[in-house]
Each structure stands twice: as structure tokens, then as C-alpha cells.
Amino acid sequence: MAEATFRVFRGDKNGGEEVEYTVPVTEGMVVLDVIHHIQGYTDPDLACRWNCKAAKCGSCSAEVNGKPSLMCKTRLDHLPLDRPVTVHPLKAFPVIKDLATDVSWNFEVNKKIKPFTPKPDTDWVMYQPDVERAQEFRKCIECFLCQNVCHVLREHDKHDNFIGPRFLVRVASLEMHPLDNGNRLEYLKDEAGIALCNITKCCTEACPEEIHITDNSIIPLKERVVDEYYDPLMRLLRKFFGKK
């Protein structure tokens, strides 16, 4: 049977190192299968997160050969197996142990976003073309791969000033809900730090759900912020014609 070599990061917040494992390769195998094989036959205490094994829960994010990926969706036959494959935890978050990182910051950010606020007296009639914009953003499985690749968080560590692409998508899903009446523009400008995004689109490329993070959520949100705070004519018009 064919074999492949993996170098998996083992360690915790105090540091660690790559440990080499050789595993048998079967048809259609994914990187998460490799991790399970290591747990099941070699090192039962190798830590990693996973739930669905079907790219639906966003738990198994890691960096495979340096590329942020869902391990359950990364096929071995798409990797060069003539040399060792590296598997590391996400870089933008502190390591807990091995492949598990501390992503709790994301949950704190989410709490601060103003929840869905329905228009008063709505009859709840919505049409498919109108809900589709919000639905695109609601596909997010919170894998945090976009947060991991965004240089504002990854290189500049601006976790206190910037909510990251995932939560800009979240805000967009609320702002573009046809019946939402909440106003999140001040939040976007100040706390969320939307101006820190300089539209590099790395987040969009990383998204396993193929959400057009930059084009469909961040740019329209930026435009709304600009309209609200920096464009006197638009502000005047809106005064006469209502919010959205």
C-alpha cells in the first residue's frame, strides 16, 4: 500500500515542534483521515478539532503545507506526496495544543454585533431575489480561515481594532436582510474598524464556502459608511428618502 509522510505540529502555547508520521494512503483520503489515523494507531492524544467531516461545520481548519484549509476537504491526491506534508495550526490565533487554537476572541466579537432588528409591523413577506444577498453571507460555517489569512489580524495583530472579514460578513448578512431595521454604520466605522481593510481579497480566496467576502459584503458596507459619514449630499438625500 502507498504511504505518505506527514509533519504535524505538536506542542502548546509554550512552543513545540513538527513530529513526523508515516501513514498508509487509500483512495479519496483527506488530511483529516490522516490525523484520525495518527490518533487511532499512534498518538491518541494528538489534539485537533473536527465535527462533521463533510465541510459543513468549519471545525477542522489548519494550515496544510502552509495553506489555510479545511482538513476534511483537503484530498491527499491534490497534494505532492513525494515530500512530507506539513500540518500546522492556524497562525492568527494562539495555540492551545497541537492543531487546536484558541478562537474564543471570535465569539466575543460576535456578541457585540447588534442582532437582527425587524422593521415594525412587517408582514414577513420576502421575495427570493431579495433574500439571496443575505443568504450568501449566511452560508458562513465559521471556519475562521478568512480571519486567519487577513493581514490586519495575522501580521498586524489588530484584534482590538478590527473585527475581521468573518464578522464583516456577519454584519452584511444583517444589513442586507430585507426586513432588518437596525443601524450598524457607526459600529462599522468605529469599533469594527472597517477602514483597516484595504481590499486585498485574501479572505475571499480562502473562503471554503465561496462567499464573495470583499466584493459582496465589505465593499458595499464600506460604501454605506462613506455615504453616511463622508458624503453630505447622500446624507441629505437619505434624510428625505429613508434609510436604505
Partner 1 sequence: MEKFETHEYDVIIIGAGGAGLRAAIEASNKGCSTAIVCKSLLGKAHTVMAEGGVAAAMGNMEGEDNWKTHFCDTIRGGKFMNNWRMAELHAKEAPDRIRELEQWGAVFDRTPEGKINQRPFGGHTHKRLCHVGDRTGLELIRTLQDKGVHSGIDVYMECTVSQLLKDGEKVSGALAYWRETGRFVVFKAKAIIICTGGLGRAYKITSNSWECTGDGIGLAYEAGAELLDAEFVQFHPTGMVWPPGVQGILVTEAVRGEGGILRNSEGFRIMEKYDPERMELSTRDVVAKAIYHEVKGGRGSEHGGMYLDISHRPAEYIKKKLPSMYMQFMELADVDITKGPMEVGPTTHYTMGGIRVEPETAATRVPGLYAGGEAAAGMHGANRLGGNSLSDLLVFGRRAGLSAAEHAQGLSAAPTVDAGQIEDAANSALEPFNSKEGDDPYAIHRDLQDNMQDYVGIMRSEDDLKKGIDGLEQIKQRLKTVRTDGSRPFNPGWHLALELRAMVVISEAIARGALQRKESRGAHTRLDYPETDAETYGKINSIAAKSGKDMDVSTAPLPQMPDELKKLLEDK
Which residues, listed in sequence order, are joined to residue 100 by a DSSP beta bridge? Answer: 97
Site stretch for ligand SF4 (CB under 6 A), options 44-52, 118-126, 200-208, 226-234: 200-208
Concatenated DSSP letters for 51-80?
S-SSSSS---EEEETTEEEEGGG-BGGGS-
Q: What part of residues 217-236 is at the interface with ligand SF4 (CB under 6 A)? A: 218
* Three cell numbers, residue 225: 459608511
Distance CA 66, CA 73 (A): 15
**Does the footprint of partner 1 cover residue 1 (CB under 8 A)?**
no
Name the phi and psi angles at 117, rounded to 5.
-130, 100
Measured between alpha carbons, how far is 96 from 125 in angstroms, rounded to an integer? Answer: 46
- By the 8 A CB rule, do 228 and 185 touch? yes
Q: Which of 121, 127, 240, 241 binds partner 1 (CB under 8 A)?
A: 127
By a kind-dependent CB cut-off of 5 to 8 A, residue 92 interacts, out of ligand FES, ligand SF4, partner 1, none, with none
Which of 74/214 has CB closer to ligand FES?
A: 74
Regarding 50 and contact with partner 1 (CB under 8 A), the answer is yes
Binding partner of residue 157 among ligand SF4, ligand FES, partner 1, none, CB cut-off 5 to 8 Å per kind: none
Give 129-158 as a 3 state SS string.
HHHHHHHHHHCCCCCCHHHHHCHHHHCCCC
Q: Which is nearer to ligand SF4, 76 or 145 (CB)?
A: 145
145 binds, among ligand FES, ligand SF4, partner 1, none (CB under 5 to 8 A by kind): ligand SF4
Q: Is 189 in the site for ligand SF4 (CB under 6 A)?
A: no
The candidate with the shortest Cα–Cα distance to 178, out of 117, 113, 241, is: 117
Binding positions for ligand FES, 5-44, rule CB under 6 A: none
Residues at the contact surface with partner 1, assessed by CB under 8 A: 12, 26-30, 33, 39-41, 43-59, 73, 75, 96-98, 100, 102-103, 107, 110-111, 115-116, 118, 124-128, 131, 134-135, 138-139, 141-142, 174, 177, 180
